[in-house]
Chain A
Amino acid sequence: MINTDVLVIGAGPTGLFCAHQLGIIGLKCEIVDNLDKIGGQCIELYPDKPIYDIPAIPECTGEELTKNLIEQIKPFNFNFHLKDRVQKIKNQNNKWIVNTFKGKEFITPNIVIAGGVGSFEPRKFPTKNCEKFEEKTVLYSIKDKSIFKGKKVVIFGGGDSALDWAIELSKNSKVTLIHRRDEFRGAPSSVKKIKELEKEKKIDVLTKYSINDVKGSEKIEIVEIKHEEGQIKTINADYVLGFFGLIMQLGPILEWGLNIDKKTIPVNTENFETNHKGIFAIGDICTYPGKLKLILSGFHEGALAARGCFKYARPNEKYRFEFTTTSKTVKGRIGVKE
């Protein structure tokens, strides 16, 4: 069990800056994020797109912003728990017991939800019958490629993941690549490679088709696909892989008894606390009159939520406001020597 002052859910810009503010006021935190890297939407959705509305930074990309935020919290040595997701929370004697998907347990007086529009999850097939084969013969990510050796693998999708895996698995498996349109959006070199492999008859490529149904008893046997003009075709398959990118879902947060208003969590604007004591929500996931979904608003919200956390983390101390320019204590926390 990890004991901490604050558990921050979400390692996007808002979560990172809130962590900075927690560090500044002398609190410890642990940061959990479902993605495999730090940065949230900035990194996952628009790493290369310039952002023009960060105060005092005329232009920067999502990646640069993330890099600087990470740099800014380095002195605090906070732990990141990536590729993990908070599943369950329980209140016990004014503390929150938090359990993650990967089996970690935290005990903390404060939880700050900086979860953006939710956690990124792979988009799944719309076909109901896929569910019973999921994680066995219908997969949305690959952990062990050796299971495909000598098997018939049907891959859906037109982006880099679909193309890369089609190329890789075509070495030892019979691969069929299916995409809903003629153009592939993957890297030009991968698209070229796919065309070559198709010409050499090392993979089958079917375009303008999407999944219609899957059949099989224990494991998948047949995939039924439908052309955009309506014709149905069937393919024998041992494995079906879907690579349709990531979608954002609130997931387990919905089950924590928080007030939810259209996928967002109402908060007060004094300290961004939710209807649960010790649970705060900041950034895109929170709502209040006048809310703007801007990164700069997330920074402000994080600064105030951090002060809100202080009250529960240090109930016997009085919070003292200090400037980073003048306070020796604060400078000590960020490792600045005078």
Chain B
Amino acid sequence: MTKIKYIEHSGKEYEADVVNGLTVMEGAVQNGIPGIDADCGGSMACATCHVYINDDWFSKLPEKEIGEDDMLDQAYEPKKNSRLSCQIIVSEKLEGLVVHLPEKQI
């Protein structure tokens, strides 16, 4: 289990213990955390699990795979620190990871 913090655009915070091996997206969906839609179910075919990661954590995450940036082009307000949360696999290295949710997904 790894503790992940999800912060809504409004500032509201949620904390979840996510089983290692699941994705940050699944952690949100399984724990009923709003703000991550994941319409395509994690197949990197949409951009509705979009999150922002602050600099301190961004560099610690495994690099984006080919295709993730292409999908992020289609996200709502993508920024330099955007990621698709379905592509971030939870491990103990991510203990305390903080993800910021965008204002909306679609």
Contact = CB atoms under 8 A, between A and B. Distances in A.
The size class of the interface chain A forms with chain B is: 20 to 34
A45 B45 contact: yes
Interface string A152-183: 00000111000000000000000000011101
B43 interface: yes
Interface residues of B, number: 19
B73 A159 contact: yes
Interface string B63-93: 0000001100110111110000000000000
B40 A45 contact: yes
A126 interface: yes
A45 B46 contact: yes
Give the dominant DSSP class at A's interface: loop
Given A45-B46, A228-B79, A248-B46, A183 B69 contact: yes
B15 interface: no
A228 B80 contact: yes
A126 B77 contact: yes
A121 B44 CA distance: 18
Nearest to B81: A228
B21 interface: no
18 contacts: A41-B40, A41-B45, A117-B40, A123-B74, A126-B76, A157-B73, A159-B73, A179-B73, A180-B73, A185-B69, A185-B73, A245-B73, A246-B74, A247-B47, A247-B106, A249-B106, A263-B39, A293-B41
Interface of B: 37, 39-41, 43, 45-48, 69-70, 73-74, 76-80, 106
Given A126-B77, A180-B78, 18 more contacts: A45-B46, A46-B43, A49-B43, A117-B39, A123-B76, A126-B76, A157-B73, A159-B70, A180-B73, A210-B78, A245-B47, A245-B73, A245-B74, A247-B48, A247-B106, A248-B106, A249-B106, A263-B39
